Amino acid sequence: MDAGEVPKNSSTVDDSKLIATSSDDYSSRLIKSSISHGILKFGTFELKSGRISPYFYNSGLFNTGYLLNLLGLSYASKIIELKDELEFDVIFGPAYKGIPIASITAAELNRLDPIKYHALGFSFDRKEAKSHGEGGTIIGSPLKGKRVLIVDDVITAGTAIRHSIKTIHDHGGVFVGVLVNLDRQEKSGDSLRSAIQIVEAEFNTKVHSIIKLDQIITLVHSIDGYQNELLQMQNYRDQWGIKPPPQN
C-alpha cells in the first residue's frame, strides 16, 4: 500500500456492520459478504454501456468454497421462497458464470429439502459444440420434456438469456423463468426499461433476483463511513435508475 493511502477498513468505517449474523436474511448476508470480500466494490467503473458506475459487482470472485456455498444458499433460499410460483425439473446455467451457480444451487436445494429436490437435474451449455466424447452443446441433465429454470449472475443486455432460452427450446425443454443474483435496476441503453423488464416483456416471463440496487443502498446507508459511496450510488440511481411502477 502506498504511503498516504487510506484502506477502506480504516477506523472511519464500522466494519462490524458488515459481519453477517444469523438474524440477517439471505439477501443481507449476501450483500454484506460481497462487500467484505471485495466482490461488491465502490469507486469509478466504466461499464460496457459507457456509463460510469460508482459500484461494480464481480461475481467471478465467488471463488472459494465458503463463498460458493454462500452463493448457492442464497439462490436456493430464493427458490424455496418462490416454491409456489416456480415449478421446474432442471436448473440451467449458461456458460460460463452460470455453470457453478447451477451446480451449487442444485446441491443446496437437495440439502435444504431433499424430499422435494433430490431428483432435481442441472445442466449447462458449451460455448462451442463438441464432436467427440459425449458430444453436443449440453452437459448434464437432458432438457427434453423438462421444465427449465435459468440461473445466472446478472442480465446486462439480455443476449445470454435469449441464447439460453433458444437453447432450451431447441433441445425440447420448456423455459419457465430466470433467477439472477443482482438486479441493477437501471435503464438499458436509451430505453426507459431495464434489461430485466425488457426480457420479461419479450418472453412473457418473470425474472427474479436475489438482491437489487435498492437493497444495497439501504444496507450501505446503515454503515458508518460509506457516506460518499452512498451519495454516489443515489446520484447514479437518480440518473439511470428505472422508475417505480405507479401505485394503484
Task: Say which of 83, 130, 144, 221 is annotated catalytic.
Answer: 130
Domains (ranges, CATH) in the chain?
15-240 (3.40.50.2020)
pLDDT of residue 37: 94
pLDDT of residue 225: 87
Task: Say which of 48, 118, 127, 132 is annotated catalytic.
Answer: 132
Band of pLDDT at residue 4, cut at 50, 70 and 90: very low
Nearest to 211 by CA among 75, 49, 97: 75
Residue 50 corresponds to which cell in the numbers above?
Answer: 459507457
Q: Which residue has the higher pLDDT, 135 or 111?
A: 111
pLDDT of residue 18: 63
Task: Report yes or no: 223 and 17 within 8 Å, Cβ to Cβ.
Answer: yes
Residue 230 corresponds to which cell in the numbers above?
Answer: 452512498
Check if 166 is active-site. Answer: no
Is the confidence at residue 13, as pLDDT, over 60? Answer: no
pLDDT of residue 12: 40
Work out the average pLDDT over 10-18: 48
Check if 127 is active-site. Answer: no
Per-position b or e across 153-185, b if 16+ CB within 10 A of its CB: bbbeebebbeebbebbeebebebbbbbbbbbbb
* Average pLDDT of the chain, as a whole number: 88
Instruction: Read off the pLDDT of residues 121-147 as tens digits, 9 standing for 90 and up.
Output: 999 998 776 555 555 789 999 999 999
Amino acid at 19: I
Task: Report yes or no: 201 and 192 within 8 Å, Cβ to Cβ.
Answer: no
By 3-state DSSP, what share of the chain in percent is helix, strand and coil, each rounded to 5?
40, 25, 35
Is the confidence at residue 100, as pLDDT, over 70? Answer: yes
Band of pLDDT at residue 5, cut at 50, 70 and 90: very low
Task: Report yes or no: 78 and 28 within 8 Å, Cβ to Cβ.
Answer: no
Instruction: Read off the pLDDT of residues 47-57 as tens digits, 9 standing for 90 and up.
Output: 988 999 999 99
Task: Report yes or no: 94 and 153 within 8 Å, Cβ to Cβ.
Answer: no
